[in-house]
Chains A and B, each alone.
Chain A
Amino acid sequence: MDIDTDMYGDDSTQPRKPIDPHPIEPQLEMDTTQKNLTAQPVPNTSFATGNPTTPLQSVTTPLTPTAAVSRRKFMGVSVAGLAAIGGASAAAAVGGVALAKLLQNGGPGNIFHGPVASNAQIGHLLRHAGFGGSPDELAMYSNLGYNGAVDRLINYQQVPDDAMESRLNALNIDLNSPLNQQRWWLLRMSWTQRPLLEKMTLFWHGVLTSSYHKVGGPRAYMRMIIQNQFLRNHAFDTFDNILLGITSDPAMLFYLDLTKSRSNAPNENYARELMELFTLGLGHYTQQDVYEGAAALTGWHVKGLTSQYYPQDHNELVKTYLGHTGNLDYKDVLNILANHPATPWFITRRLFTFFAYENPSDDDLKPLVDTYVQSGHNMGEVMRTLLLSPQFASTKAYRGRIKSPVEFTVGAYHAMNINGDGNGLPTITTLMGQTLFDPPNVAGWPGDKVSALWLNSGTWMTRLNYIDLLLARGTVARTGLTPLVDLQGIVNTHQLNTPEQFVDHFSSFLLDGELASDRRTQLLDYFTAPGSSTFGAPITLGNGTSYPLGRVRGTLYLMMSSPEYQLN
């Protein structure tokens, strides 16, 4: 048997680089047509085939064990029992959260008044379940009502996204380069009409994560895109199917060394992180479970851009794993984990923290855990429960997290309707602290759990400088570049007649119009202060008055550099 079928060799482990704003682009020879993106990562198993086009209609039955082993019936455990199991130890697994608690204010209570979907309500929804909205999008989602807006976001397959695909295709991006992969995904997030699908993919990327630095070498970088497409296709699938797919994902097989695991020499890397970081959290397993799980998981190997299960390389000994005994294999392991009582608490805590606020209580999580159990582990239904929960609509959730680098970068790009090629965006998110396809380690980005960690002096200045780049530096007169943002055009289109209307227009979709009057006054003072610009045509408002270019775009810079705009 030729186990080492990895056609790209084993040059896996580039030393990790804490700072790498300018990754070297390797010379690549691979074909990059779209057909690569549809390569099946799971050729040899009947699992992980949840229908990607109708994820919410396919409520998958939990896996049937193939081995004759005794196992507890977790599904029968009372909900109260689940709560007790999920409590303190699940909180401990998140770790390092006390600091954020001290930094974050806000309490219970609903900011949203009245039955009509308000600007703040829809803005809040689109920021959390996407990357914010343009004025047109806010109007469109508002007209659907809040529940209708949630439906549209989750039932993404009913929303065509051809325009985004066309724009991306027109750029002819070579996806074998890490920088281009980042650029491709950042543009995708900026231009999509399916914002929650991309946001959910980003969530999964931060949990079930892999890095291009250890994916099989420069000729295997495409494995990162295959993983990304898997996470997108199954973003709202059952957790069982997601676990099956990620376990047999070529990038993951390489990243956590499962492809190196042999029947007679199990490698414990994936077995440990699968429990610690993907499903249970610390405290729910022993080192013995790591050993036994590693033996049970043997058999999977990377094969080029796909993977294959080799039964003859599966360890056939009897194992005892989390209380289950038998000749267990990967299906049993994943079945045990998806049905383990700690799992819904673990994964909904990650989900809630990412999409709503940090340090959720057990009461906050319980409806999500219940949905997980009752829906057959359907993550789309769990997501719906979250978006419709009173917690999601609370003041605690409103501006309750620091925007992540990707949220900030894509949010501004999207809001200002930038039509660029995305070059430079990967370096910007890297300097802000987030390089897509290259998390700092297998735990993903710490900021996903404690968002205060995204912000420090260096990353804050990068945020400011990015806004400056979008608004100002693309218009340096001597470069002759077309401005990235056509301010005069926006003024004309939206018939902004006064400085007040200018500020209110941008505030309405950048800040939900939630701008205290004294702060609005500060912006107006800046807008109207006397002065001139060294170059550039002044901006003429609808009332016929002209203002220096630097003052006008400076006002917008202030709004997008403000404390409020750093928050999600």
Chain B
Amino acid sequence: MKLTRRAMIKDGLLVVSAGMIMPAIFSRGVSSARAQALDGSRLAQSANNRTLIVVQMAGGNDGLNTVVPFTDPLYLKLRPTLGLSETQVLPLDTRLGLHPNLSPLKKLWDAGHLAIVEGVGYPNQSLSHFQAMDIWQTLDLNGNGSQGWLGKLVSGLVDQEGHPFKSIDIGVQTAQALQSISTQVPTIANVSTYRIYPDPADTDGGNARLQALMKLYNSYPGTAPYAALLDTTALSAQDGSNQLRQADATYHPAVTYPKGPFADGLKVLAEAIVQGLGLRVGYVTLGGFDTHANQKSTHDTLMLTLANGLSAFYNDLAAHGKADNVVVMTWSEFGRRVDENGSLGTDHGTAAPLFVLGNPVSKGIYGEPPSLSNLDQNGNLKYTLDFRSVYATVLDRWMGASSKDVLGGSFGTQNFLPQA
């Protein structure tokens, strides 16, 4: 069944025409687009084909053992067993070096495609995973927000082709950063299961049954529980599954991706970019960073997984001529405590560095590594750069969006991306 949907902007309203069916769903779509036009048009931007990939490092990554202040004597003093020595790190300059397992990222650095933003945090940082994750994703410093910053961005992106994949979240649950009232983010565990299977006994490949199902969703009363969620979910799924399947049939990665769900997810995002599915925001999560005990082996493995995955992703895009269109940024809800604990691990911390990579990125270290001698009352680093300034930079300088509207304020931009 062909369900191509085209949308176009006309007199400030999003007018949707469909080859077939589902007037009620579309009328709800139009009404939500109308709300977008009022609220979101300022977020929307001139059409470009740029893509932002956001990598969440869940659990609180140990920033000090990721970008290592290896010449600071306090570092090894506070990290007697976990500290990485000068001979182990991959030096970036006279102060900082990368974790030894990040050599694929060091290559990108050497090629000029990696930026490191240091000391990223926010005032009165929470040591709670969940409040910190809420703050990073919804920008509400009390941790009570519901709409994600990327969700706001995506719902403001109006795509003349009506692509179902302007954003993709890899996994089984849509990240809070991508939550919005008006937009359903396709959430993909893997390509092979992202489809609706037909009953093999049906003679029409499942067409009639699927149409009957969509009619049940279409006629589900708008005032009934979860009506908007159910409608948009069904539509997003039906729209996207065919396109993704067709794209997948002709996609050939140019590199061999590492094994594992993180690289698998990056491969799906690369596929969406290479196959022109209209991807503007991709999201993938690597978890396991909450290293309270026996940190070394876990963190070593995670660094390797991160670097090998991102490297394969970059090389795949480069081989397909798409590397100029894609910027990747990482984030984690907090760094770890400066002094290691008694369990060969580290407890919850505050500020940490993050990575931005891609051909458009200006190589360098931005922000200031926090002092190891001037800690807060809990023994944690004092942040030197507000995370919203990093967001503002990718919004204003890369996505062409209005960071002021998305973030609800002005937080300044950094020079890891050139002025738009």
Contacts and interface: CB of A to CB of B under 8 A. Distances in A.
Nearest to B195: A461
B202 A105 contact: no
B9 interface: no
Contacts of B261: 17-20
B365 interface: no
A257 B293 contact: yes
A11 to B, nearest CB: 8
A128 interface: no
Contact of B201 (A16, A454, A533): A533
Interface in A546-565: 548-550, 553-554, 557-558, 561-564
B5 to A, nearest CB: 15
Contacts of A95: 130-131, 134, 143-144
Contacts of A536: 201
Contact of B197 (A10, A266, A431, A465): A465
Contacts of A462: 189, 193
Given A399-B225, A456-B187, A563-B224, A531 B230 contact: no
Interface string A452-465: 11111111111011
B111 to A, nearest CB: 27
Contact of A563 (B184, B226, B241, B292): B226
B378 to A, nearest CB: 5
Given A19-B265, A282-B131, A458 B203 contact: no
A194 interface: no
A327 to B, nearest CB: 20
Contacts of A562: 213, 216-217, 220
A526 interface: yes
B203 A106 contact: no
A276 B197 CA distance: 42
Nearest to B174: A456
Contacts of A96: 134, 138, 144-146, 176, 179
B260 interface: yes
Contact of A272 (B143, B219, B348): B348
B294 A558 contact: no
Contacts of B145: 96, 98
A278 to B, nearest CB: 13
A485 interface: no
Contact of B199 (A16, A256, A272, A472): A472
Interface stretch (A50-58, A61-69, A334-342, A441-449): A441-449
Interface in B232-268: 233-234, 236-237, 240-241, 260-262, 264-265
Interface stretch (B153-161, B269-277, B298-306, B314-322): B298-306
Given A455-B233, A465-B197, A526-B209, A567 B342 contact: no
B203 A460 contact: no
A493 B182 CA distance: 47
A257 to B, nearest CB: 5
A543 interface: no
B186 A457 contact: yes
A465 B342 contact: no
B228 interface: yes
Contact of B190 (A19, A261, A282): A19
A461 B197 CA distance: 9
B227 interface: yes
A170 interface: no
Interface residues of A, number: 99
A95 B143 CA distance: 7
User: Which bucket holds chain B's interface residue count?
Assistant: 35 or more
B29 to A, nearest CB: 15
Interface string A532-548: 11111000000000001
A530 B174 CA distance: 40
Given A458-B188, A473-B197, A441 B59 contact: yes
A465 B301 CA distance: 35
A13 interface: yes
B81 interface: no
A564 B216 CA distance: 10
A423 interface: no
A14 interface: yes
A19 B172 contact: yes
Q: Which of A18, A267, A400, A457 has the most CB of B within 10 A?
A: A457
B128 to A, nearest CB: 6
Interface stretch (B97-105, B283-291, B381-389, B393-401): B283-291
B172 A433 contact: yes
A98 B147 CA distance: 9
Given A257-B293, A519-B216, A534 B208 contact: no
B215 A522 contact: yes
A519 B193 CA distance: 29
B405 to A, nearest CB: 19
Nearest to B233: A460
Contacts of A433: 172-173
Q: Which of B173, B230, B233, B241 has the most chain A CB atoms inside 10 A of its CB?
A: B173
A188 interface: no
6 contacts: A98-B145, A266-B342, A268-B341, A272-B128, A402-B229, A562-B213
Interface of A: 10, 12-21, 92, 95-99, 102-106, 213, 256-257, 260-262, 264-269, 272, 276-277, 282, 287, 290, 399-400, 402, 430-433, 440-443, 446-447, 452-462, 464-465, 468-469, 471-473, 475-476, 516, 518-519, 522, 525-526, 529, 531-536, 548-550, 553-554, 557-558, 561-564, 566-567
